[in-house]
Amino acid sequence: MNTDKRLNQLLEMLNEEPSDSFLRFAIALEYDKLNRPDEALRYFQLIVTDDPDYVGVYLHLGNLYLQMNRPDEAVHTYRAGIERTKTKDPKTCNELMQALQEIE
């Protein structure tokens, strides 16, 4: 299945479950694959706003900020993710700390 078709299916599913963070995450990843960073950013930001405990989003959002040449926002995102994950998800916390160290 090509990326455009997969994206359209995910968007249709999101219409039925508009606050589903997993679907939003999948849509953001598809937009990123299509080199449409602004759309990917929108969906990642929705997750952070509406479901800040969805810890997988922080690394991807921070990386997207770096791709968009927005390092300050990447640092802020990595740090926010570290705070969210340090007691709940040590593996994700470690990945975020490594990403942060690479740009500081």
pLDDT digits (tens, 9 = 90+) for 31-80: 999 999 999 999 999 999 999 999 999 999 999 999 999 999 999 999 99
Domains annotated for the chain, with CATH where assigned, are 3-103 (1.25.40.10)
Q: Is residue 19 pLDDT above 80, yes or no?
A: yes
23 to 29, 88, 103: CA distances (angstroms): 10, 22, 29
Which of 73, 88, 81 shows the shortest CA–CA distance to 56?
Answer: 81
Q: Is residue 88 pLDDT above 90, yes or no?
A: no
Q: Is residue 87 pLDDT above 90, yes or no?
A: no
- Please give the share of the chain, as a percent, with pLDDT higher than 70: 99
